[in-house]
Structure 1
Amino acid sequence: MDVDIGNALASAASPGVPRSYLDRLDARVADAHERIERGMADGEFGYAALNLPERVDTGAIRDAVAPLDGAEAVLTVGIGGSALGAATLTDALDTEGEAYYLDNVDPAQVSDLLDDLDLESTAVNVVSRSGTTAETLANFLVVRDAYEARDVDWTERTLVTTGESGNLRDLADEHDLPVLPVPEGVPGRFSALSTVGLAPAAILGVDVETVVEGARRERESLAGSLYETPAYAYGAIAYALDARGANANVAMPYHESLETYAEWYAQLHAESLGKDGLGQTPVRALGATDQHSQLQLYRAGPNDKLVTFVRARDGPDVPIPEADLDGLDYLADSTLGGLRDAEFEATEASLADVGLPNVRVTIDRVDAASVGGLLYGMEAAVVLAGELYDVETFTQPAVEWGKEVARDLLRGADALDEKETLRVTRE
């Protein structure tokens, strides 16, 4: 992963970061790196996520998914970090079947998906660290019922990824289901490079060892300077721009297969850094699609955003056929890839022209190694930014509050009456 921050410096953007400030900030980055390295060495909660390239056991993943060999589709039942990392990988990479995700509790979507799936050839991957996540268990119960209604043995097609105890662990033990452990000390949103994110990809034939190797190479690039570490350069520039008024961070990949990556990054960024009144608001976009819509705001609206482009140097291409149509001479001898690259360069130049800060993140190809490195690099960038913000990067108290209230709403009025905040809201 390479990061070009030139269009986010004060010499090119407003708001922008003066080079002299980056020099001073680099001393804080060095201190933050020491803290991150200590946390990794001690396996501290959260920091342990950055050890995954060395510690994830891909052999154990292969063994666990072996009973599901031959599945033509995988249905993952999870929510948030239990699904988005896996979806990023299966959407980005070539697979030997289709990947589907139930990561919401929309009755119409659940019913429509189950109606359309050939359950005989579909593996189920249910993921919950606690084994008690309401949305995940509710969806899984509906899925299990659908299998039983069609006389398909769900126990022969189900993989469970969970903790050492909880409802899912009990269910797995009762039915002798294959089980993968969630990694210790790793918050869900940082678990893409673990059993949580890699299992669906492994079921569908992705070379997960190469994904991990790409992440390992990115891990080896971590050093105590933003000038030497692409991940730290990105985390530091995002933090510095936020302090100068760029309060939104637009993740804009220029490859259709990386659209889910933008969703993954939005969760990682928001849930990790949105604390104590701090943190940029992540925005999801897709080039070239959203340059025909959102670009109007980015170029002509307030300069309160950082736009982060993600693109690959190389990849497949398709020639554009000749056409006897007026006004299309500029497409002669061109390709879809060439058109996409021209669209990207035009958008980048358009934003630079009005001084809106933007950063270019470049990977070699949209392949297993590069995507593994991209995910690891962005995790490291967010951890570094959390140190600079001085927030509790690895907790999510606002999310937990919402979960508790939802459970109480389902329990009824007696539980609600104990919640002063909710009672005032309801009045």
Structure 2
Amino acid sequence: MYVDIGNALAAEATTGVSEASLERLDERVARAHERVETGIEAREFGYTSLALPTDTDPEAIRDAVAGFDPEAVLTVGIGGSSLGADTITSALGLDGHHTLDNVDPEHTRRLLERLPLDSTLVNVVSKSGTTAETLANFLVVREAMADAGIDWTNRTVVTTGESGPLADLAVEHDLPTCSVPEGVPGRYSALSEVGLLPAAALGGDIEAVLAGGAAGREALEPSLFDCPAYAYGAVAYATEQRGATTNAFVPYAEALEPFAEWFAQLWAESLGKDGLGQTPARALGATDQHSQLQLYRAGRRDKLVTLVRPRERDDHEIPATEIEELSYLSGGGLGELLDAEFEATEASLADAGQANIRIEIDRLDAHGIGELLYGMEAATILYGELLGVSTFTQPAVEWGKRAARGLLGAGDFEEAEAVEDKTELRIE
């Protein structure tokens, strides 16, 4: 992974950081790195995530999906239980992975109607085994299979914790299982069974993904000037302190769009504490140059724009044309055009004084996505250390879960009372 922070320096950006400030900040990075290393070695909660490339056993994953040769994989999960898997299967170009990560009844019905259920592997994921959205969707999927005359127990694999309703169900029906790793918050679980099982079931090279993650682990150094992941995390932190409260995350590869969704959860849920943290905004290059770039270039200087791309990609030649005004495109490639769009956007933002950072990997392949996932996790954890927040918890999310359970009659939760006490000012 490569990171260029030049356009986030004070000389280039309104919210930029001076090189002298970076030198001072680097002393704090070194101390944070020491804390991170201690946490990894002790397998402390949260820090354990950065040990996953070596702790994850790919054979256990392959054993869980052995005997299946699915046309499609349906992951039933939400948040960290699905976003990592989506990111990896998309980056590897593995067709056939679908997710039920919402409880929109119309979407669920339409997806189940078009899936070949008799050749679909259902991958249900919940660490606690009690996640309301996941369990509700799983019950709907089971019923759809039964209605189609399919024995759901022959088409289901469970990824869950050591105990809970899903673990009990797996034992009762002798279902193949994978374990959610201990000490790893869901949003950090991409390089574990949680994120890798669908790719394995569809024939992906999960060993290469883990090797990419291991390369990211080896790249951790106690200085932002020697470590791309820390450079990104430290400069994102520094720009936030100077007013860049939004992080617009813009990959320039269609297959990285799910990666932007994964990053948004990682960044928001890890760092949004105590009135602090950058708000992630998702975009896609070059598409959103025609919908969002106007704001990023000419709007408020309260943003960091993160531009992500592979350095190498297979290209597709643009055919010759008889239209003279378009002759400059002839003989070039779509990838060449996309790279020109990337660099033009980067320069446009810098010209407007808008802080931006370039992140690159060699290629968008199994090794590259593993390295990228690991690097962004390390960057987030470093940012959290500098910010002084509890990076691995999500109390606001838990509040909402308790409120929803109370509304559904799953117990007495005082949070549900806040819903009933909502202030109303209706205009009809």
TM-score bracket, normalised by the shorter chain, equals over 0.9
Out of 112, 118, 121, the position equivalent to 2:119 is 121
Matches within 5 A, 1:242-261: 242-261=240-259
Compared with structure 1, are the counterparts of its residues 196 and 289 closer, same or farther at alpha carbon in structure 2 (3 Å cutoff)? same
Let me know the Cα RMSD of the aligned residues: 1.2
Query: The residue matched to 2:421 in structure 1 has which SS?
Result: helix
Q: Which residue of 2 aligns with 1:2?
A: 2
Cα 1:179–1:416 shift into 2, 3 Å: closer
Q: Which runs of 5+ in 1 are unaligned?
A: none
1:261 offset after TM fit, Å? 0.4
Query: Which SS does the other structure have where 1:327 is aligned?
Result: helix
Asked whether 1:421 is paired with 2:418, we answer yes
1:88 match:
87
1:294-345 CA distance string (max 9 Å, x none)? 0000111111100000011111110000111131021121110111111111
Partners of 1:21 and 1:253 in 2: CA distance:
28
Matches within 5 A, 1:174-185: 174-185=172-183
Deviations 1:360-384 (A, max 9, x none): 0000011000100000000000000
* Within-5 A mapping of 1:320-399: 320-399=318-397
Deviation at 1:154, TM superposition (A): 1.0
Note if contact 2:247-2:281 (Cα within 8 Å) is conserved in structure 1.
yes
Aligned residues of 2:403 and 2:415 also touching (Cα < 8 A): no
- Counterpart of 1:348 in structure 2: which amino acid? E
CA distance in 1, matches of 2:55, 2:412: 42
CA contact (8 A) 1:49 1:186 kept: yes
State the match for 1:41 in structure 2: 41
| Equivalent position of 2:285 in the other structure | 287
In structure 2, the partner of 1:77 is 76
Q: Which residue pairs with 1:141 in the alignment?
A: 139
d(CA) in 2 for partners of 1:422, 1:141: 27
Q: What secondary structure does 1:388 align onto?
A: helix
Q: 1:52 corresponds to which residue?
A: 52
418 and 375 in structure 1: CA distance in 2 versus 1, 3 angstrom threshold: closer
Q: Distance in 2 between matches of 1:156 and 1:321?
A: 49
Structure 1 distance, partners of 2:136, 2:278, is 33
Contact 1:5 1:234 in 2 (8 A): yes
Structure 1 CA distance for aligned equivalents of residues 267 and 371 of structure 2: 17
Does residue 268 of structure 2 align to residue 270 of structure 1?
Answer: yes
Post-superposition shift, 1:92? Answer: 1.2
Asked whether 1:220 is paired with 2:215, we answer: no
The Cα shift of 1:51 comes to: 0.3
Task: Report the TM-score when normalising by structure 2.
Answer: 0.97
Counterpart of 1:140 in 2: which secondary structure?
A: helix
Matches within 5 A, 1:192-203: 192-203=190-201
SS in structure 1 opposite 2:158?
A: strand
Match of 1:74, SS? strand
2:303 alignment partner in structure 1? 305
Q: Distance in 1 between matches of 2:110 and 2:19?
A: 54
SS at match of 1:104: coil
Q: Does the CA contact (< 8 Å) of 1:78 and 1:136 recur in 2?
A: yes
The structural deviation recorded for 1:416 is 6.2
* 3-state SS, counterpart of residue 249 of structure 2: strand
Asked whether the 8 Å contact 1:81–1:191 carries over to 2, the reply is yes
Aligned residues: 424
Cα deviation, 1:195-234, whole Å, max 9, x if unaligned, reads 0000000000110000000110110010111011100000
SS at match of 2:380: helix
Separation of aligned partners in 2, 1:6 and 1:426? 47
1:169 matched to which residue of 2?
Answer: 167
**Aligned 8 A contact 1:417 1:423 in 2:** no
CA deviation map 1:227-261 (0-9, x unaligned): 11100000000000000001000110000000010
Change (3 A) 1:345 1:165: same
Report the Cα distance in structure 2 between the residues aligned to 1:326 and 1:79, rounded to whole angstroms.
50
Kindly provide the CA deviation profile for residues 85-143 of structure 1, in whole angstroms up to 9, marking residues without a partner as x. Answer: 00000111132x40000000000000000001111111000000000100000000000
Query: How much does 1:425 deviate?
Result: 2.3
User: Contact 1:416–1:423 (CA<8 Å) still a contact in 2?
Assistant: no
2:406·2:416 contact (CA, 8 Å) conserved in 1? no
Amino acid at match of 2:217: R
| Residues 56-91 of structure 1, C-alpha deviations (whole Å, 9 max, x = no match) | 0001111111132x1110000000000000000011
Q: Distance in 1 between matches of 2:232 and 2:13?
A: 16
Gaps of 5+ in 2: none
Structure 2 CA distance, aligned partners of 1:402 and 1:6?
Answer: 40
Tell me, in whole angstroms, the C-alpha distance in 2 between the residues paired with 1:27 and 1:139. Answer: 48
Partner-residue secondary structure (3-state), 2:139: helix
Alpha-carbon shift at residue 386 of structure 1 (Å): 0.3
Change in 2 beyond 3 A, CA 1:315/1:418: closer
The equivalent of 1:23 in structure 2 is 23
